[in-house]
């Protein structure tokens, strides 16, 4: 991500699709372009969209911090997981192996359903801050700004 400010707009709507009719939809627009969405409910949908963006925008940075799959105990970042699925001869896959730190060949998972504030904490670690700019019943707007220490 560049040092420029990034505008994140979370828009809410309701699905009219055949299999999802009536489900809530949360869509994330990054600088005006629709980039991510999720539907349903019962989990942190804004956190989920934010996590998807962070995973794409900060992939290399995520590899430098510790994961915490078990809870937000400040010994890593809740919602972040590093894992490998070993391939053994003759088998499709072996048991998943999780690591607290990124290992070469690991996949990265960032579960935003763990909470919007957990995702904010990761951004803060990378030197960025989310400013809540405005809201209506159908949308929330945030600005992601690089922290400047003087």
For residue 139, what are its two tokens?
Answer: 């949308």
Domains in the chain, number: 1
User: For residues 9 and 134, what is the distance between their CA atoms, to the nearest angstrom?
Assistant: 9
81 vs 118: CA distance, rounded Å = 13
Q: Is residue 74 included in any domain, yes or no?
A: yes
Has residue 99 been placed in a domain?
yes
Is residue 1 one of the residues assigned to a domain? no
Q: What is the pLDDT of residue 3?
A: 53
Which H or E run contains 61?
Answer: helix 59-62
Q: What's the pLDDT score for residue 10?
A: 98
The helix-helix angle for 45-57 and 116-125 (nearest 10°) equals: 20
Q: What is the pLDDT of residue 86?
A: 77
In this structure, is residue 95 part of a structural domain?
Answer: yes
Q: Supply the pLDDT for residue 69.
A: 73
- Rounded-to-integer distance, Cα 10 and Cα 141, Å: 6
| Domain that residue 50 falls in | 6-146
Residue 100, domain member (yes or no): yes
pLDDT recorded at residue 72? 54
103 φ/ψ sector (left φ>0, alpha ψ -120 to 50, else beta): beta
Contact 82, 67 (CB under 8 A): yes
Cβ neighbours of 81 (radius 10 Å):
19
- Collapsing DSSP to helix, strand or coil, 113 comes out as helix
| % residues pLDDT > 70 (the chain) | 89
Mean pLDDT for each 10-residue chunk of the chain (150 residues)? 82 94 96 97 96 98 90 78 78 79 94 96 96 95 86
pLDDT digits (tens, 9 = 90+) for 73-113: 568 999 999 999 877 655 666 788 889 999 999 999 999 99
Instruction: Write down the pLDDT at residue 70.
Output: 65
Residue 92 lies in a domain: yes
Whether the model clears a pTM of 0.85, i.e. scores above it, the answer is yes
């Amino acid at each position: 991500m560049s040092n420029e400010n990034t505008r994140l707009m979370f828009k809410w709507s309701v699905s009219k699709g055949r299999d999802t009719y009536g489900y809530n939809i949360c869509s994330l627009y990054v600088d005006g372009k629709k980039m991510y969405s999720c539907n349903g409910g019962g989990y942190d949908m804004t956190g989920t969209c934010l996590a998807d963006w962070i995973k794409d925008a900060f992939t290399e940075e995520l590899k430098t911090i510790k994961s915490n799959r078990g809870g937000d105990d400040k010994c890593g970042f809740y919602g972040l997981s590093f894992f490998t699925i070993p391939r053994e001869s003759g088998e499709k896959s072996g048991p998943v192996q999780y690591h607290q730190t990124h290992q070469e060949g690991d996949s990265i998972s960032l579960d935003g359903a763990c909470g919007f504030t957990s995702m904010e904490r990761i951004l803060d670690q990378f030197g960025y801050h989310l400013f809540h700019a405005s809201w209506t019943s159908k949308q929330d707007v945030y600005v992601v700004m690089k922290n400047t220490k003087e």
